[in-house]
Amino acid sequence: MALRHHGSLTVLLLLGLAVACTATDFDFFYLVLQWPGSYCDTEAGCCFPGNEKPAADFGIHGLWPNYAACRPDAVTPNKTSCWPDFCNATDTLNPSLIRDLEGDLRRSWGTLSCKRKNSADFWSHEWSRHGTCSGMGQRAYFRAALELKARLDLTGALRDAGITPLDEAEYCLGSVRDAVAAAAGGAAPMVECNRSARNETQLYQVYVCVGRDGRALVHCPPPAQRGCTDMVRFPPF
């Protein structure tokens, strides 16, 4: 049907944007786990809220909805989006809804950024940008990430494969990926590396694919690595 008024066109466009930003409009989650030693061993360094150093364990960076293939952005012309974000700006984090999880969150999902005053700011950002797109309630979203992290136990899986945090050791990237895949039920992970203050390639983040239910570990098409070389360091923390 032909449109007669610019006002009608505007309404239809806005409705289209609303549909494009539906909270459940994604294909899978990335559970992103971060090695704190590699975050801190950079020129920027790191900070610990309250001067409480976290345990030497992979921490949660986020549980991020993603598309299986990037698509045209609903808002910005000539741009593609590989994930939905900020799906509901009015749904801000209510700390009372996750208060019973706070101890586990501080241990497993704390911030290392010197730009953030406390971990609650980090959780608020992750909920606003990614959680509002998840189709879950606030408590369910954070609980799902905590349970997935505990089930995977990446630090233990790497240790069992002989990959332990050492100053001088280098490890084959393929061995790292194999160890993570074994912990994830065979699903191939994406491994991201960064550069140390000495310009060395080091294991930084691991991306594991999770189904839209926030529980099942699934196969998805991640690239094999981001910023890595064949051999990577795994710095102590």
- The catalytic residue positions are 61, 126, 130
Listed in sequence order, the residues at least 6 apart from 135 whose beta carbon sits closer than 8 Å to its beta carbon are 23, 24, 212
Using CB atoms within 10 Å of the CB of residue 204, give its burial: 0 to 12 exposed, 13 to 18 middle, 19+ buried. buried
CA–centroid distance for 12 within its chain: 34
For β-strands 225-226 and 190-195, DSSP reports them as: parallel
CB 94 within 8 A of CB 203: no
The answer to whether the beta carbons of residues 208 and 30 sit under 8 Å apart is yes
155 close to 58: Cβ distance less than 8 angstroms: yes
d(CA 124, CA 119): 9
> Of 155, 184, 123, 179, which is closest to residue 35 (Cα–Cα)?
155
103 is written with which tokens?
Answer: 């101890």
The packing angle between helices 138-152 and 119-129, to 10°, is: 110
